[in-house]
Amino acid sequence: MTKDKIMITGSTSGVAIELASHLKKYNVIKVSRSQIDVIKNFCKYENFIIKNKPKIIINCIAANGIDYCENNPQEAFKINTAFPVFLAKISQRIGAKLIHFSTAAVFSGKKFKKLYNENSIANPNTIYGLSKYFADEFLSCYTNILILRVPMLYGPTHKKQLISRLLLKIMKNHKIYASSDVYSTPLYIPELAKIIVGIIKNKKKFFSKKSAEIINVSSKNYISIYQLVRKYAIYLKKTGNLVDVKNKYFSNALIKPKYLGLKSKKKYTSQMLINDCVKDHLEKINK
Ligand SMILES: NC(=O)c1ccc[n+]([C@@H]2O[C@H](COP(=O)([O-])OP(=O)(O)OC[C@H]3O[C@@H](n4cnc5c(N)ncnc54)[C@H](OP(=O)(O)O)[C@@H]3O)[C@@H](O)[C@H]2O)c1
């Protein structure tokens, strides 16, 4: 076992579960909401972190989902902005490095085929995007922080997120509606986990003593939600219940950014073919 103690906050998140399975050689401390609820108690986290003194903290806690954040703005800003800033302060105090996740939703997503890089100007138009953007801004004042900005994620460890929910419906032969005009460069979570393991192994290269750094991690596939879900349906031979609709079919269409593709100037792009990701995902959930 290597010496580095790694704390993963939000250990029930899709990213955290996948990541933990890639970090078996490390001393990983997982913290879930059932142990400490961020909404109720920051101080408990402070005591827990100081007691455990991790070398690296990976923050997977988030108030995800556009609708949830629009309806619960106080919680969104507390979880997505205040908590990461609080973690940055403690990390700095104990000399730990912090990995945090940002989102493509910090961009307006109004232009078809536009891919946002690390230098693109953020212009969020949802509470979710704004709450994540504020964290990016405030964290930039701290050192030894790496912000990984990711597009829509999908993978076998995700249970509550969009692609997994749609996949479950396909498997149950339910009729499903997916947007053919909402695009992303979706990233397969096991690929993200591999990139993070590489970062942990090469800490010195990634963490700056000057300021926080943002890296976009994405795939190279610019694809609509419908096109991605259809790939699953084809593998499962269940395309019959899949209906392509325009974004305006959904209730949050007015605010939802439609074109949120990312690219990386720093070359952190998953090379795994999308059909292989879909196949791997289905194999893993059928095991
Ligand atoms: N999912 C995506 O498509 C996507 C896209 C772009 C960026 N990201 C970012 O990537 C990171 C990881 O996302 P993910 O999809 O893996 O997240 P996720 O599966 O939605 O999990 C979110 C985590 O936050 C925890 N949490 C929420 N409220 C909490 C609270 N009050 N106290 C303590 N814990 C709380 C949840 O606990 P419970 O399980 O108990 O609810 C869960 O562990 C996040 O920063 C997210 O914003 C995700």
**Tens digit of pLDDT per residue, the chain (287 long)?**
556 899 999 999 999 999 999 999 999 999 999 999 999 989 999 999 999 999 999 999 999 999 999 999 999 999 999 999 999 999 999 999 999 999 999 999 999 999 999 999 999 999 999 999 999 999 999 999 999 999 999 999 998 899 999 999 999 999 999 999 999 999 999 999 999 999 999 887 888 777 889 999 999 999 999 999 999 999 999 999 999 999 988 887 778 899 999 999 988 999 999 999 999 999 999 88
Instruction: Give the residue among 163, 124, 166, 132 at the shortest CA–CA distance from 150.
Output: 132
Element containing residue 228 per DSSP (H, E): helix 225-236
Given ligand 1 and candidates 31, 35, 41, 60, which is best to mutate, with the most ligand atoms within 8 Å of its CB? 60
User: What pLDDT is stored for residue 1 in this prediction?
Assistant: 52
User: What secondary structure letter does DSSP report for 119?
Assistant: T
Per-residue pLDDT tens for 231-252?
A: 999 999 999 999 999 998 888 7
CA-proximal residue: ligand 1, atom 40 (nearest): 33
d(CA 141, CA 249): 41
| Rounded to 5°, angle at Cα 178 from 173 and 183 | 145
With b for 16 or more beta-carbon neighbours within 10 A and e for fewer, the 133-151 pattern comes to bbbbeebeebbbbbbbbbb
Owner of token pair 């801004």: 137
Closest by CA to 111, choosing from 226, 265, 258, is: 258
Distance CA 248, CA 89 (A): 42
Assess if CATH 3.40.50.720 describes domain 5-285.
yes
Q: How far apart are CA 41 and CA 73, in angstroms?
A: 18
Distance of CA 140 to the CA centre of its chain: 19
Pocket test for ligand 1, best of 8, 15, 43 (most atoms within 8 A of CB): 15
Distance 277 CA to ligand 1 centre (A): 21
By the 8 A CB rule, do 12 and 32 touch?
Answer: yes
Q: How many residues does the chain have?
A: 287
